[in-house]
Amino acid sequence: MRFKTATLGCKVNQYETEWLRSAFLLNGWEDADDPDANVPDDDVDLVLVNTCSVTAESDAKSRKLIARFAKTCPHAEIVVVGCYAASDPERVASLPNVSEVVPDKRRLPEFLRGRGLERIPRGVGRLAERQRAYVKIQDGCRVGCAYCVIPSTRPYLESRPADDVLEEARTLSANGYREIVLTGIHLGHYGLDLYPPTPQEIDEAREGGYEPGTRPMSLGRYLARQAAVPEDRRFGLAELLEQLAALDLPQTRYRLGSLEAVEVSEKMLRVVANAPSTICPHFHLSMQSGDDDVLRAMRRRWPSGAYVDKCREIYELIPDAAITTDVIVGFPGETERQFERTLEVVREVGFSRVHVFRFSARPGTVAAQMDNQIPPEVKKERAARLGEVAREERRKFAKKFVGRQTRVVIEDVKREALAPPVARGTTDRYFEVVVKAKEGENIDCGDVATVRLVGLDGDVFSGELV
């Protein structure tokens, strides 16, 4: 039996597709995408499409991808998973050649067994065509930001057992991956579902005739569970990081995925500070706006002042840490003064990178129904202005590192006859480096090279091997 996979969306989706791929390979299926397999599209039996639904455009891309496979692999069953499968399963089921829709990621093991696959992997050992590995440690989000549909497509919090994460890290390191990115739908929720139900929850469940935890709960309920446990017995992201660092895997480093500022504890910062060669000093803290009124309209959890204070705390404990963020411009009702406040905060924090997004009204969200939608031309103009400020701050941050040594994970190497290789890689602070080897020097994909940063072109460093 032959299969194909396709993925849209986030790192979690990419990881989950690789997990599905691993399951089919483990049970004797043939990957038609393997260049050595030489399998014609007409001979593909099954196509797995992992979809995204973060925007209306994502939904459209998912439909287009499914339609393309219906034409190119006409004899294959198409199975659709992911957030679009969760947000609109009936429409997905009506698309050409779709034989099955799996709207709940928790049902994936059941789906595999239904296809006759008896061996279900606990994790992944490889990620196709990547030098940096993703490890999914968490699923689900209960925050409920006004612009986001994810709490309705992935409403259940689920943290992977620490032993599974540690074993997967060992396997990936043994297979040559030198950077492991910890990822999740809401990474900072890791561990919240591991606490026992409160007495109040048990009483309510008994009265309602259901098991505690079998229905989506509010974030407040999860936090109440955590608060009922003594602090020295709590287990969350900081404790998992500590255990990963203690593995002391050779030449292996970890990078944290996206977090909320409220989720960065002092303990987490100390774990990172105490393992500078093992945990990247890079924090991606989603901000979205620098104005408190806009943040309230977005239903965000922290005001801008507290966000800036957390960034200061990071810099105090980890000088020269890289802090990156996401910002949405043109949220409904955003005034020029409110946008300028965001520019002020970006300058105040000194982000090493800002991902700029123009607000897109996602059907099914609160924000899509708000009044005072911002005209497209205004959103475009604000995005351009923010982009220029962000590039200026990125250059300021990067200049501090010219002349310093750093460790670089090599992700690509180009070789030409009679010339030393030219490599591209990523620093611990998530900057790209081009390394031109000298005569007699060699460098390969997957290497962790010590590099002196000798120049800066835009935001790309040039480096030389040490």
DSSP state at residue 310: H
**Rounded Cα gap, residues 272 and 238, in angstroms:** 9
Examine the pLDDT at 126 and tell me if it is beyond 90: no
Examine the pLDDT at 439 and tell me if it is beyond 70: yes
Tokens (6 digits) for 277: 């060669």
Is residue 257 very low, low, confident or very high in pLDDT (cuts 50, 70, 90)? very high
Strands 353-358 and 322-329: parallel
Tokens (6 digits) for 158: 């689920």
In this prediction, residue 446 carries a pLDDT of 87
Q: What is the percent of the chain where pLDDT is above 90?
A: 87
In this prediction, residue 132 carries a pLDDT of 87
Identify the burial level of 418 via C-beta atoms within 10 angstroms of its C-beta, where 0-12 means exposed, 13-18 middle and 19 or more buried.
exposed
- Residues comprising the chain, all counted: 466
Is residue 35 very low, low, confident or very high in pLDDT (cuts 50, 70, 90)? confident
In this prediction, residue 5 carries a pLDDT of 96
Rounded to 5 degrees, what are φ and ψ at 309?
Answer: -60, -40
CATH number for the domain running over 133-184+240-399: 3.80.30.20
In this prediction, residue 254 carries a pLDDT of 97
**Rounded Cα gap, residues 232 and 166, in angstroms:** 21
DSSP state at residue 303: -
Query: How many CB atoms are located within 10 Å of the residue 379 CB?
Result: 21
44-58, 119-133, 149-163: range with lowest mean pLDDT: 119-133
pLDDT, average across residues 16-45: 92
Examine the pLDDT at 130 and tell me if it is beyond 80: no
Examine the pLDDT at 128 and tell me if it is beyond 90: no
pLDDT, average across residues 433-459: 92
pLDDT, average across residues 377-386: 98
| Residue that has been written with the tokens 């490599």 in this structure | 423
Give the rounded distance of the alpha carbon of 455 from its chain centre: 30
Which of 151, 142, 250, 243 is CA-nearest to residue 193?
142
Is residue 416 very low, low, confident or very high in pLDDT (cuts 50, 70, 90)? confident
Question: Count of H helices and E strands in the chain?
Answer: 15, 18
CATH number for the domain running over 2-114: 3.40.50.12160
Q: What is the percent of the chain where pLDDT is above 70?
A: 99
The string of DSSP letters for 230-269 reads: -GGG---HHHHHHHHHHH--TT-EEEE-EE-GGG--HHHH
**Rounded Cα gap, residues 29 and 5, in angstroms:** 12
Give the fold, CATH level 3, of 405-465. OB fold (Dihydrolipoamide Acetyltransferase, E2P) (2.40.50)
**Domain definitions of the chain by residue range:** 2-114, 133-184+240-399, 405-465
Query: Residues 63-119: pLDDT tens digits?
Result: 999 999 999 999 999 999 999 999 999 999 999 999 999 999 999 999 999 999 999
Query: How many CB atoms are located within 10 Å of the residue 206 CB?
Result: 11
In this prediction, residue 211 carries a pLDDT of 87
pLDDT, average across residues 340-350: 98
89: helix, coil or strand?
Answer: helix
Contact (Cβ atoms closer than 8 angstroms) between residue 272 and residue 197? no
Tokens (6 digits) for 122: 């606990």
Is residue 434 very low, low, confident or very high in pLDDT (cuts 50, 70, 90)? very high
Rounded to 5 degrees, what are φ and ψ at 238?
Answer: -60, -40
Q: What is the mean pLDDT of the chain?
A: 94
Ramachandran bin of 156, using left for φ above 0, alpha for ψ from -120 to 50, beta for the remaining angles = beta
Examine the pLDDT at 129 and tell me if it is beyond 70: no
Is residue 417 very low, low, confident or very high in pLDDT (cuts 50, 70, 90)? confident
DSSP state at residue 193: G
Contact (Cβ atoms closer than 8 angstroms) between residue 381 and residue 75? no
In this prediction, residue 442 carries a pLDDT of 87
**Rounded Cα gap, residues 74 and 95, in angstroms:** 13
The string of DSSP letters for 328-341 reads: EES-TT--HHHHHH
Q: How far is CA 257 from CA 137, 197, 281, 283, 340, in A?
A: 10, 28, 12, 8, 28
Query: Residues 262-304: pLDDT tens digits?
Result: 999 999 999 999 999 999 999 999 999 999 999 999 999 899 9
Q: How far is CA 229 from CA 192, 206, 223, in A?
A: 11, 22, 10
In this prediction, residue 215 carries a pLDDT of 86
The residues pairing with 357 across neighbouring beta strands, listed in sequence order, are 328
pLDDT, average across residues 338-345: 98
Rounded to 5 degrees, what are φ and ψ at 369?
Answer: -100, 0
Is residue 185 very low, low, confident or very high in pLDDT (cuts 50, 70, 90)? very high
pLDDT, average across residues 431-439: 93
Rounded to 5 degrees, what are φ and ψ at 112?
Answer: -65, -45
